[in-house]
Structure 1
Amino acid sequence: MWRLALITAPTKEPLGAYGSGTPPVWDLREDVYKHLRLEPTTEMAPEDTLLKAAVATARHTCEAFTGRQLIDATWELVLDSWWEEGISRNGVLLIPRPPLRSITSIKYLDTGGVEQTLAASTYLAETQATAVVAETCQKGRLYLKYAEQWPSLRCQPEAVKIRFTCGYGDGPDKVPLGLRQGMLLEVAEMYERRELSLVGAMVTPAVITAERLWWPWRAF
């Protein structure tokens, strides 16, 4: 079995703009307000709070649908062995939540139960910068250099921990347009239908369009 643990969460969302202050001011006027045809006024403060919650929800929905990380974050992939179903393929480890930006460390328990760090000189990682097509790259690939071998492990759960950074960058301007446009549709849907109580399953045209925009970006 394998699992993911979030180490450092994103500090920004994929929609809106951020000022230069500390912490930076999050402004939704440039895209969210325009998409909803709203006029920013002092009376909009309650709506702004609602919209920011909708943006966060839309981002979670987009990331869950595509399997991607939109804004930079640090994750840890925890494995019981080097060969985990859904992660290992033909001697290559597929790192979830693309695009992969860097491998921070690979730690493992040796046969004596002592934690070791795999030397960076023994493996290669295909990151966003080295992928053939960066915009539509799939899961990052981690593999050993020629003639290297994966170390023997202690036979116990969570024997391997791979820490990595992934995401398109540290701000909204780095996130692909199709992903952001789909999020805007989701935000509009939540904003305009917030009072509705639905009975049974119902998929609206906006949700269908958002998923069509996201579909080419699904990670396999």
Structure 2
Amino acid sequence: MPFHLVTPPAVDATTGIAEPVALSEVKLHLRVDIPDDDALILALISTARQMAETLTNRQLLSATWNLVLDAFPGPSLMGVPAGTPYSLPDHAILIAKGPVQAVQAITYLDMNFDQITMPPQNYVVTSTDDLTRITPIFGQIWQPTLPQIGAVNVQFVAGYGDSTQVPEGIKHWIKLRVDSLYNQRGEVAFARGRMDKLPYVDALLDPYRIALL
């Protein structure tokens, strides 16, 4: 999905950094009580958090994002298929990053090259922790857009909120991953006379991969 980060998370009131776990609690997990490696541990916290967000397609602390589309999907007046308890209609915009707190604006370029902001009452937003779907209200279709890449922008706020609202399982995973990164400084580990490549090393690049559609 062509997501663009607009506003990154602010410094969290509980952790004191823009991360879901505090330096102090990670150091406690690592059993480190000296400040010598604080800068390194902070960098590893950021790395582990990025890995968690990439693996789960979730935003942990609140941040503002843009979903950039070339056009609206559809059009369709069919709505939801009868008898289907949950669906992704062809004319629905899908935000595959969660949890979405709010859709702030949907803007598009019309055929006159003007940027138009859609009135919120003209579309419906439904969100779960996993996916957010947006469609026009019943009986309407998306408006025609300029046939140009990046003609549609959906701005939204995603994230659990502050660090106290991030699931404990995710925060514990971050601490475990920091532990591995801190105690295994190379890309291989030696155990029982064997040298094994650490499986997560190449995954450190996943947040920076360019997905070709």
- Which TM-score band applies after superposition, normalised by the shorter structure? 0.7 to 0.9
Identity of aligned residues (%): 28
* 1:60-71 equivalences in 2 (<5 Å): 60-71=50-61
Q: For 1:162 and 1:106, how far apart are their aligned partners in 2?
A: 5
8 Å CA contact 2:73, 2:90 repeated in 1: no
* 1:9-158 equivalences in 2 (<5 Å): 9-12=8-11, 17-18=15-16, 27-29=22-24, 31-39=25-33, 44-83=34-73, 89-127=89-127, 131=128, 137-158=129-150
Q: Which amino acid is 1:7 matched to?
A: V
* 1:145-184 equivalences in 2 (<5 Å): 145-169=137-161, 171-184=162-175
Corresponding residue of 1:202: 197
Gapped runs of 5+ residues in structure 2?
75-87, 190-194, 201-213
Against the structure 1 CA distance between its residues 185 and 151, is the aligned structure 2 distance closer, same or farther, given a 3 Å change threshold?
A: same
Against the structure 1 CA distance between its residues 192 and 113, is the aligned structure 2 distance closer, same or farther, given a 3 Å change threshold?
A: same
Corresponding residue of 2:4: 5
8 Å CA contact 1:12, 1:71 repeated in 2: no
Q: Which amino acid is 2:179 matched to?
A: A
Q: For 1:101 and 1:201, how far apart are their aligned partners in 2?
A: 42
Report the structure, 1 or 2, having the larger helix content. Answer: 1
TM-score of the superposition, structure 1-length normalised? 0.73
Gapped runs of 5+ residues in structure 1?
132-136, 208-220
Corresponding residue of 1:189: 180
Q: Which amino acid is 2:72 matched to?
A: W
Task: Report the RMSD for the aligned CA atoms in angstroms.
Answer: 2.7
8 Å CA contact 1:126, 1:142 repeated in 2: yes
Q: Which amino acid is 1:90 matched to?
A: D
